[in-house]
Amino acid sequence: MEIRPSSGQSAADSAAVLGAAVSLREACLAVAGREHGINLSECYNGGDQWMREVMRIAVEFEEWACAHVAFEMLDEVWPYFLEERFGTACLEAVGVECLGGFDEADCLRVALRLRLPIAHDGTLPIPVLVEAQNPVARAGFARFRIQSMRNSVEEDDNALPFGWDDDPYDECFGPVYFALYGIADDGLHEHIADRETFAAVQALAERLNPGITFPACPRSSPRPSARR
C-alpha cells in the first residue's frame, strides 16, 4: 500500500507520469497493431508529435489526480497501477486517434473507468453513494442513503442514478444532483427529497434526524461507504 498525502496536497510524481506514459504508449501501439488503417504517425503529423501527446496526457492526468484523487483510500502503488491500467482506460475514453483533444473532462472519464476514489468537493460530477445508520431504534427506516442522480433530457425528465459506468458529461442528461432515501429493514427504498448539492441534502437529513451522521466530504468509491 502506498502512503501518499490526501487529495489536493500531493505534488505530481514523475514515476506516476512515466507509468501513465508507458501504459498509454503501449496501449496505442497494441491498438494500431490490431486494427488495419491506423497509422499513429499519420494521425498525429509524425511519430514525435504522437509521443508529445502521450507525455502531455500523462502529465495532465497526474496533475489532475493530485488535485482530486483520495489517495488515502487507494490500496495500490500508484505508478505501477497507472502503468498497468491507464493506457486502456484512456483509449476507452478518447480513442487512439483523438489524443490531441484530451482535456480535463477526459481526466474524470478516465478516473471513473479506473474506479479511482475521488474526493467530493462540489466541483466535479462524480458518483456518490453513502449510507448512514438510523440511530433511532425500531424506526421506520433502518438507514438513510444519499445517492447521486441526474435526469434524462429525452425521456420525460426520467431520474436515473449516476454511476461509475456513466459518462459524467453526457449531453443526454441534466446536471448531477443528490437524492435522499430512507431504507427499511427489508431493503425497500423510499425517496424523501432531492437537493442540488451533497451539503444541502446532508443538512436536510440531519434536520429530519439530528442523530444521523453522514461524512462531511464523502469519497466517491465504487462500493457504498457507510458510517455507524
Domain shared by 92 and 145, yes or no: no
Q: Is residue 123 part of a domain?
A: no
Query: How many structural domains are present in the chain?
Result: 2
Single residue among 117, 148, 177 that ends a domain in this structure: 117
For 204-209, the CB contacts below 8 A with 24+ separation are: 204/180, 205/132, 205/144, 205/146, 205/180, 209/134, 209/135, 209/136, 209/144
Q: Is residue 4 part of a domain?
A: no
Q: Is residue 86 part of a domain?
A: yes
Domain shared by 65 and 21, yes or no: yes
Beta pairing class for 225-227 and 177-183 = unpaired
Domain shared by 96 and 158, yes or no: no
pTM: 0.84
Domain shared by 142 and 113, yes or no: no
pLDDT, tens digit, for every residue of 85-131? 999 999 999 999 999 999 999 999 999 999 999 988 888 998 998 89
Grid coordinates of 118:
475521488
Domain shared by 19 and 113, yes or no: yes
Domain shared by 111 and 18, yes or no: yes
Mean pLDDT computed over 132-146: 86
Q: Is residue 207 part of a domain?
A: yes
pLDDT, tens digit, for every residue of 152-203? 998 777 899 999 999 999 999 999 999 999 999 888 889 999 999 998 999 9
Q: How many other C-beta atoms lie within 10 A of the C-beta of residue 75?
A: 9
Single residue among 82, 97, 117 that ends a domain in this structure: 117
Q: At residue 194, what are phi and psi to the nearest 5 degrees?
A: -120, 150
Place of cell 425521456: 155
Quick one: angle between helices 104-113 and 78-94, nearest 10? 110
Q: Is residue 6 part of a domain?
A: no
Q: Is residue 191 part of a domain?
A: yes
Cβ atoms of 111 and 219 closer than 8 Å: no
Domain shared by 31 and 97, yes or no: yes
Q: Is residue 124 part of a domain?
A: no
Domain shared by 181 and 148, yes or no: yes
Domain shared by 88 and 151, yes or no: no
Q: How confident is the model at residue 10 (pLDDT cuts 50, 70, 90)?
A: low
How far apart (Å, rounded) are the C-alpha atoms in residues 10 and 71?
9
Domain shared by 137 and 111, yes or no: no
Residue 53 belongs to domain spanning: 14-117
Question: 220: which strand partners?
Answer: 118
Domain shared by 95 and 185, yes or no: no
Q: At residue 57, what are phi and psi to the nearest 5 degrees?
A: -65, -40
Single residue among 117, 147, 166 that ends a domain in this structure: 117
